[in-house]
Amino acid sequence: MKSLAQKKGRVMYTIGIDIGTTNCKVCLFQFPSLELVNEYSFKTPKNIEGDNAVFDVRLIWDGVVHGLKTITDRINDTFNIKAIAVASVGEAGVLLDESDNLIGPALTWYDTRPQPQLEKILAALEMKSIYEITGIPAHSNYSINKIKWLHDNVEQARQGKKWLCLAEYIAFKLSGVKRSEYSLASRTMALNITQKTWDDKLLAAVDLSSSLFSPLVQAGEAIGHLTQEVSVLTGVPKEACVAIAGHDHMCGSVAVGLCNESQILNSTGTTEGLLVVTDTVNNTEHFFQARVSNGVHVLPGLHSLYASLPSAGYAIEWFRNLFELDMAEFLRMVDTLRNDKDLATAKKMDGIFIPHLRGSGPPDRNTGSRALIYGLDDQSRPEDILRFVFQGLCFELRNLLELYETLTGRTYPEVNVIGAACKNPYWLQLKANILNREIVACNVDEAVSKGAAILAAKAVGVNIESEAITAPERQKRYHPESACVAHYQQMYTQVYKPLYESKMRTEHLCYGVN
């Protein structure tokens, strides 16, 4: 395999596609500079009915085709586009019939309708046994629950022939080849995480067959070339290789060079997660009790520990909608918070927001958990509630970080951040103060798409050296401020933790959420 140095002087392009919860991105990168040359973004099409939400997969595909056409129209040397790789959210996917037509809706990863199907699965298999096999805590989000929901609610679904996660489906539409990729497969609740194969015993216990899933490939492995039809529609040469880049958070970790166990990544977007790269699977009792998810990493030979907090950017969007703020008004309010931060820390105690708008993440993962806000009085302003929201997101993240450090026996003095938070200095400094860690904001243009483009380069034999990925000038460091650290430490121990534990205990007792 050729190195980056060997490729110097030769210009080529790869395309990274990111199918996200809120937005989809189609990005053209030049190699070996890793420069973002062109990009096209569109709001992820979804149909929302009350608490239920489904991805409009047909419109997503139309958006991808339009995006490819748009970015190729802006360059003259399209023949230098060598590869495309697709990343996406995990869990969500599509069921196809024998003619590759879609069967039923594509439930979003956070749609809770498959909860009854999960309960039936847990009647057949113990939760701990599922964790030992799959490395992930049984949860209604995972793909096999969505498949079972389709079987129970959609005519003809039981005759479905193939399940593909979203990135796998887009790669299939590009190439005509069906494959499953390991990092996405490890979000299905059907993969034996140790053996890296579909687990026939588990699938048989839930009345599914491994034939429903496709042969497994490593992220960045070429699965085929662009079809003639798609080439004509988009202007991308049909010789371009197509690959699956995998789970979006892991692709983001590739974009910032995260490649060993001493580093931790805070990936921010609609959700917020912590990712650690590992050499081994961690599916012991301690990790099971913590409900932390193992995964197969997108880099060969590596695994991951990943846990997600369901509301991050979503909580901010919720606040904007609640007060009917456009983006300019919202940013002015954030500036007010930055100016008021000394006033906030001067208060002996401040408000707490526990952002369980879409349930809770580890260490007490519950789809039915609800948000809580404490500290309002008759003088409270919208700005105060926004401060509570940002603080609450940081307290939730600290709770998760402490869990990671307990489980791994490591301390992470630096937390690398990618995604939406990198454009918000107020949020980043708040993270530094509440986590009491140095925050390294990696200002990478479209980190997930960039990671996908780097993995696409692998499909044509180009190895991108990790040290070349994140230039120091693209990083900004935020250091804990001692006075603020003391203030937030008091809030965390005396207000947040007692409220969190009391709320979760009450929900378990009164509502039996799980």
3-state DSSP assignment of residue 84: strand
193: nearest Cα among 101, 304, 63: 304
3-state DSSP assignment of residue 150: helix
Radius of gyration, CA atoms only, the chain: 22
Please give the pLDDT value at position 478.
96
Kindly compute the dihedral angle of the four CA atoms of residues 169, 171, 174, 175, in this order, to the nearest 10 degrees: -110
DSSP codes of every residue in 436-491: TSEEEEE--TTHHHHHHHHHHHHHTTEE--GGGTS-GGGEEEE---HHHHHHHHHH
Half-sphere exposure of 63 (CA within 13 A, CB side): 23
CA 24 to chain centre: 13
Rounded Cα gap, residues 389 and 470, in angstroms: 30
Please give the pLDDT value at position 512.
64
Full set of structural domains in the chain with CATH: 12-246 (3.30.420.40), 313-412+427-440+480-511 (1.20.58.2240)
Both tokens of 514, joined, read: 């799980």
- Sites in the chain below the pLDDT cut of 50: 1-8, 466-468, 513-514
pLDDT 10s digits, 57-76: 999 999 999 999 999 998 99
Please give the pLDDT value at position 379.
87
Place of tokens 């360059």: 75
Rounded Cα gap, residues 480 and 219, in angstroms: 37
3-state DSSP assignment of residue 111: coil
Both tokens of 254, joined, read: 């590739």
Bridge partners for 241 per DSSP:
83, 225
In 126-284, DSSP assigns E strands to 162-165, 180-181, 191-192, 197-198, 216-217, 222-225, 241-247, 265-268, 272-278
